[in-house]
Amino acid sequence: MAFLPDKAYEHIANAHEHGRLAHAILISGPSGCGKELLTAKIAWLVQGKAGGGMDLFGDPVVHEAPPLDEQECDAVQIIRPEKVSRIITVDRMRDVEHRLHMASSQGTWKIVAIMNSDRMNHQAQNAFLKTLEEPPKNTLLLLVTAQPQALLPTILSRCVQLPLMGKTNYRAHGGDELIQTLNRVASKSFGTPWGALTIKGAFTEVLDRRKSEIENEEDILYSTEKKQYAQSTDGKWLKEREDFHKAAARSAYLAERSRFFDILMAWMADALRCQAGAPCEDFPEVSALIASFSKTESTFSLLKRVEALENLRSSLETNASEQLAIESGFLKAFG
């Protein structure tokens, strides 16, 4: 079950108030769903700074949590991937463990927030397991990621999982280009083979670019591991790590492909809303254009286009040729 960030915070605050707060929490969810803000609020709460007392009118005093990085101090560690390698190394996690076992003021909580925790390499995750299994008293470990499946099963099993609901970030990583193409075609040539192939061209271009970016990121991660551990491990382990990074790249690619389909579906859904006299929800900045376009289509034809997109999405989950399926599917959906 996924939670809205405010509801998730309520559960955490209630558990903390009654002394039942878990020592390790995995906060997951898509980009833009509020993971970092929730992490900041939890850290602020556990430090005892979220509020206390009443104001002159008898209302509880609430102190808003500052950004996560501003909370970093001796008691609060914020761990992020290194800028160049985009990984969290085993040395970094050993330093985390060392600092957690240093003396602190009586009753003070020690908090570690590991942002993009899926970027811990294999050795770092294994090193972190020791901390996860035997944390010092009054320790809170917060793992934050959009890809929890990249973490070891032994880590997942030792964390309370807190998945967040979130709205897809339509404009990130090529999404804006796809939206602009939809808008341009809708104003000139929607419903023609040329328009359909134009949208298909934009879709495949941004998708291919994201695939290359994702594979390059995973190649860098694997190359770093290979360089670091080639002399201390066997070829079988390195082959397993190579397979792991290939699978991670494939998983991330499929997630991005699904996000691009979400963009197309959301745009069509706004057109259907306009036909029903409702406002655009996902693309209000071009509501006039979408409303004008919706008048050129019947409800039946729009629903048929949506159905064609759904059928294409389903066929791609089989062993169908991606390139051929996309070309045929886009002609049905937008031609």
Q: Transcribe 89-115 into DSSP letters.
A: -HHHHHHHHHHHTS---TT--EEEEEE
Alpha carbon distance 194, 335 (integer Å): 8
CB–CB of 11/3 below 8 Å?
yes
What dihedral do alpha carbons 245, 250, 255, 257 form, nearest 10°? 140
By percentage, how much of the chain surpasses pLDDT 90? 55
Q: Does 103 have pLDDT greater than 90? A: no
Tokens of 230: 């080639």
Pairing, β 24-28 against β 160-163: parallel
Distances (CA, A) of 335 to 46, 126, 190, 233, 309: 56, 52, 7, 55, 12
Report, as an integer, the average pLDDT of 60-81.
85
Report, as an integer, the average pLDDT of 114-136.
90
More confident residue, 271 or 147: 271
Residue 322: the pLDDT is 87
**Band of residue 169 on the pLDDT scale cut at 50, 70, 90:** confident
Residue with tokens 């985009």: 86
CB–CB of 164/28 below 8 Å?
yes
CB–CB of 21/46 below 8 Å?
yes
**Weakest mean pLDDT among 3-12, 44-53, 80-89, 201-210:** 44-53
Q: Does 23 have pLDDT greater than 70? A: yes
CB–CB of 272/231 below 8 Å?
no
Tokens of 299: 């409800």
Would you kindly state where each structural domain of the chain is located, as residue ranges? 5-163, 175-334
**Band of residue 64 on the pLDDT scale cut at 50, 70, 90:** confident
CB–CB of 286/255 below 8 Å?
no
Q: Does 105 have pLDDT greater than 90? A: no
Residue 154: the pLDDT is 92
What φ, ψ does residue 248 adopt, rounded to 5°?
-65, -40
Residue 30: the pLDDT is 81
CA angle at residue 67 from 61 to 70, to 5 degrees? 105
**Weakest mean pLDDT among 126-130, 234-238, 287-291:** 234-238
Contacts of 11 (CB under 8 A, 6+ apart): 3, 162
Assigned CATH topology for domain 5-163:
Rossmann fold (3.40.50)
pLDDT tens-digit series, residues 235-258: 777 887 888 788 788 878 888 888
Residue 15: the pLDDT is 93
**Weakest mean pLDDT among 12-21, 30-39, 78-87, 277-286:** 78-87
Alpha carbon distance 270, 262 (integer Å): 12
Contacts of 149 (CB under 8 A, 6+ apart): 251
Residue 304: the pLDDT is 94
Alpha carbon distance 67, 276 (integer Å): 41
Residue 50: the pLDDT is 67
Q: Does 55 have pLDDT greater than 60? A: no
Q: Does 57 have pLDDT greater than 70? A: no
What φ, ψ does residue 79 adopt, rounded to 5°?
-110, 125
What dihedral do alpha carbons 19, 22, 26, 28 form, nearest 10°? -30
Q: Where are the beta strands (DSSP E) in the chain?
A: 24-28, 51-54, 60-62, 76-79, 110-115, 139-145, 160-163
Radius of gyration over alpha carbons of the chain, in Å? 24
Q: Does 332 have pLDDT greater than 70? A: yes
Distances (CA, A) of 2 to 6, 23, 63, 72, 132: 12, 20, 26, 28, 23
Residue 178: the pLDDT is 95
**Band of residue 106 on the pLDDT scale cut at 50, 70, 90:** low
Pairing, β 76-79 against β 60-62: unpaired
By percentage, how much of the chain surpasses pLDDT 70? 93
Report, as an integer, the average pLDDT of 130-145.
92
CB–CB of 249/277 below 8 Å?
no
What dihedral do alpha carbons 71, 161, 117, 227 form, nearest 10°? 150
